[in-house]
């Protein structure tokens, strides 16, 4: 296939239209607002590329100025989509490109004017793409394969446009925007086709990966307390247990609320829910960073702590018990709700999490049997 301008522009038109439509359909199912910006961006590329065909018939204002201006607008929409996707705010300064681009309308249609136009236009497109790429540099726990892909595609695209603007500065560089003449313009058309294809694919990938991660996250969380559920706890525990050694012992604390049924019966299910959330909040506040906190079901919770000691466990258990008891006084009952804790401290990795849960369950049973509102350590 010849890389002639007409073929490249036809490809650009076809891919941009398909990308706009695809992102719009994707938005209908995922309702991620960034997809709307990106779809609008590709629709703008489609309109801009269509208008650029008019330069061949002498309509230079529409075919060059307006068409290339729409290319800038498209990249602005891509940037707005990325900003929306990462939940950032864009400083007002970034709106200045509109004033700059309008100022270029004053440039004459001679070779010097066209050259300045191409340089400024390319630099604006390059900077908008690089800014979008920078916004996608997310923390490792938030970044997905999709965001990484989009980040690098936008970075390469932005660098290409900055290079294009810079090379155009060189004396003797041949460009003729009126008839798509000059190596830079031709290379740019080829890059444009590749870029819109890769950007569109990365954009859908970005949203998909994030959605998958959100679904994964929800599947491993208890909706009421937002602690891990049993499945999430099991999935994460194996790696923590393998890190246990005599110099860094581990502990599993099993917690059950005493007389919880009375809270539900006397104050309603919503009050019971509030108490469960209170316990989850206390655990989040008091357990050392890196601990695993889970609600195994009903009023039973499990906390896995690494690199701990009997003294630390005793302090955590006692404080948790006392603070919970204080919070539970808001729900008066013949027997106020309290906490029973069964703790197992171990200095070698156990053969399985289930065995560990069984052992701490025995400790918990002992705490219940001895009158509740206490902690038993094995």
What is the DSSP code (8-state) at residue 126?
A: H
Contacts for 34 with CB less than 8 Å, ≥ 6 apart: 81, 82, 84, 85, 203, 207
Identify which of residues 260 and 301 has a Cβ nearer to ligand GTP in the complex: 260
Identify which of residues 111 and 268 has a Cβ nearer to ligand GTP in the complex: 268
Residue 5 has phi, psi (to 5 degrees) of -55, -40
Q: Using an 8 Å Cβ cutoff, are 123 and 129 in contact?
A: no
Structure tokens that stand for 211 in this block: 């959605």
CB of 335 vs ligand GTP, minimal distance in Å: 8
Identify which of residues 273 and 307 has a Cβ nearer to ligand GTP in the complex: 273
Contacts for 211 with CB less than 8 Å, ≥ 6 apart: 30, 32
CB of 224 vs ligand GTP, minimal distance in Å: 6
Give the gyration radius of the chain's Cα atoms: 31
CB of 254 vs ligand GTP, minimal distance in Å: 12
CB of 328 vs ligand GTP, minimal distance in Å: 11
Identify which of residues 173 and 336 has a Cβ nearer to ligand GTP in the complex: 336
CB of 259 vs ligand GTP, minimal distance in Å: 5
- Shortest-Cβ-distance residue relative to ligand GTP: 272
Residue 342 is inside which H or E element, if any? strand 338-346
Identify which of residues 84 and 259 has a Cβ nearer to ligand GTP in the complex: 259
Identify which of residues 249 and 272 has a Cβ nearer to ligand GTP in the complex: 272
Identify which of residues 26 and 256 has a Cβ nearer to ligand GTP in the complex: 256
Three-state DSSP state, 249: coil
Strand order in the sheet with 300-305: 292-297, 300-305, 250-258, 338-346, 375-377
CB of 231 vs ligand GTP, minimal distance in Å: 17
CB of 332 vs ligand GTP, minimal distance in Å: 15
Q: How far apart are CA 222 and CA 154, in angstroms?
A: 37
Identify which of residues 300 and 307 has a Cβ nearer to ligand GTP in the complex: 300
CB of 272 vs ligand GTP, minimal distance in Å: 3
| C-alpha distances in Å from residue 149, one per residue of 27, 33, 87, 102, 157 | 20, 19, 18, 33, 12
* Binding site residues, ligand GTP, CB under 6 A: 224, 256-261, 264, 269, 272-273, 276, 298-299
Contacts for 90 with CB less than 8 Å, ≥ 6 apart: 79, 80, 83
């Amino acid at each position: 296939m010849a890389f002639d301008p007409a073929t490249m522009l036809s490809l650009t038109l076809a891919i941009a239209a398909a990308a706009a439509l695809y992102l719009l359909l994707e938005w209908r199912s995922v309702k991620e607002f960034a997809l709307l910006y990106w779809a609008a961006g590709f629709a703008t590329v489609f309109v801009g590329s269509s208008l650029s065909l008019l330069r061949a018939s002498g309509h230079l204002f529409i075919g060059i100025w307006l068409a290339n201006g729409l290319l800038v607008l498209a990249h602005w929409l891509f940037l707005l989509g990325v900003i929306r996707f990462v939940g950032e705010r864009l400083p007002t300064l970034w709106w200045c490109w509109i004033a700059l681009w309008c100022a270029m309308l004053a440039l004459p249609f001679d070779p010097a004017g066209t050259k300045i136009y191409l340089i400024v236009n390319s630099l604006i497109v390059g900077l908008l793409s690089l800014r979008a790429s920078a916004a996608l540099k997310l923390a490792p726990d938030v970044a997905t394969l999709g965001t990484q892909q989009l980040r690098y595609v936008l970075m390469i695209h932005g660098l290409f446009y900055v290079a294009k603007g810079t090379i155009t500065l060189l004396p003797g560089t041949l460009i003729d925007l009126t008839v798509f003449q000059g190596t830079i313009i031709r290379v740019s058309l080829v890059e444009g086709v590749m870029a819109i294809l890769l950007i569109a694919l990365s954009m859908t990938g970005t949203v998909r990966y994030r959605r998958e991660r959100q679904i994964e996250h929800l599947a491993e969380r208890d909706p009421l307390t937002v602690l891990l559920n049993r499945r999430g706890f099991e999935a994460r525990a194996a790696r923590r247990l393998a890190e246990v050694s005599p110099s860094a012992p581990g502990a599993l604390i099993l917690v059950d609320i005493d007389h919880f049924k009375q809270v539900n019966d006397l104050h309603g299910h919503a009050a019971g829910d509030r108490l469960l959330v209170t316990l989850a909040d206390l655990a989040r506040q008091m357990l050392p960073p890196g601990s695993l906190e889970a609600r195994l079901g009903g009023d039973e919770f499990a906390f896995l702590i690494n690199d701990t000691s009997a003294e630390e466990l005793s302090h955590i258990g006692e404080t948790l018990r006392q603070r919970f008891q204080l919070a539970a006084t808001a729900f008066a009952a013949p027997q106020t709700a309290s906490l029973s804790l069964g703790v197992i401290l171990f200095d070698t990795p156990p053969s399985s999490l289930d065995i560990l849960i069984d052992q701490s369950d025995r400790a918990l049973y002992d705490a219940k049997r001895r009158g509740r509102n206490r902690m038993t350590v094995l």
